[in-house]
């Protein structure tokens, strides 16, 4: 794909059993469920991205998604891993909101600085992803990255200056790809969101 900068196409992994149960996964290494495998097999990368280099988070659900889509073993990089939710992993947000009440409301209002106990914030995710984007830009590698919702939202926030204290201007849909352009410094901008993967 021809562009002035470097392109990175993000795809979220397929559905896991924890997704079905609405459990917070974070850094917990949960594999795809059967529903997720069937979902990903139905996806097809648009042909204009066929020359992109496949990369993945090292978590099983992302590696398996990338392997099914690409037909090969992707490169992995820990900086593409999901945001760690600390001691909240394995819980539901609904239960946490009931249990913590106004405290949870105050925490969620922190936006970019919101994090669970012993977990990461979206700003932390941005800090670890920036050096990776700088490497992509320096090497002029167009990348197809299979990652996670928390990572993609943090990148979107970085690209548009969203503080994450309220809803995003555009919701990033599952089952779609999201294209960002990197300038020569690795700073991202939005090229196209919600590119369908089911043709």
Contact status, residue 74 vs residue 146, Cβ threshold 8 Å: yes
The H or E element containing residue 124 is: helix 122-139
Q: Are strands 75-76 and 188-196 parallel, antiparallel or unpaired?
A: unpaired
- CA dist 44 and 165 (Å) reads 34
Mark whether 82 is an active-site residue. Answer: yes
Strand partners, 7: 181
Query: Of 122, 143, 149, nearest to 186 (Cα)?
Result: 143
Instruction: Please name every residue paired with 16 in a beta bridge, in sequence order, or none if there are none.
Output: 32
Q: For residues 6 and 134, what is the distance between their CA atoms, to the nearest angstrom?
A: 10
For residues 54 and 9, give the distance between their C-alpha atoms in angstroms, rounded to a whole number: 10
Of the candidates 39, 64, 82, 181, the residue annotated as catalytic is: 82
The three-state secondary structure class of 154 is helix
Residue 62, Cβ neighbours under 10 Å: how many?
28
- At a CB cut-off of 8 Å and minimum separation 6, what does 72 contact? 54
Q: Please identify every residue annotated as catalytic.
A: 13, 82
């Amino acid at each position: 794909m021809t562009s002035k900068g470097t392109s990175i196409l993000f795809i979220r992994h397929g559905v896991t059993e924890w997704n079905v149960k609405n459990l917070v996964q974070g850094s917990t290494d949960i594999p795809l469920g059967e529903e997720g495998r069937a979902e990903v097999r139905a996806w097809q990368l648009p042909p204009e991205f066929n020359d992109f280099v496949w990369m993945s988070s090292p978590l099983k659900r992302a590696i398996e998604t990338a392997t099914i889509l690409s037909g090969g073993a992707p490169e992995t990089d820990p900086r593409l891993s999901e945001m760690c939710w600390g001691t909240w992993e394995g819980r539901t947000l609904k239960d946490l909101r009931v249990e913590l009440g106004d405290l949870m409301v105050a925490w969620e209002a922190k936006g970019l600085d919101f994090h669970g106990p012993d977990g990461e914030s979206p700003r932390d995710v941005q800090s670890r992803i920036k050096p990776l984007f700088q490497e992509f830009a320096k090497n002029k590698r167009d990348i197809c990255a299979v990652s996670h919702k928390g990572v993609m939202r943090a990148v979107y926030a970085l690209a548009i200056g969203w503080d994450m204290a309220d809803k995003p201007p555009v919701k990033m849909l599952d089952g779609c790809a999201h294209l960002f352009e990197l300038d020569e410094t690795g700073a991202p901008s939005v090229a196209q969101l919600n590119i369908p993967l089911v043709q």
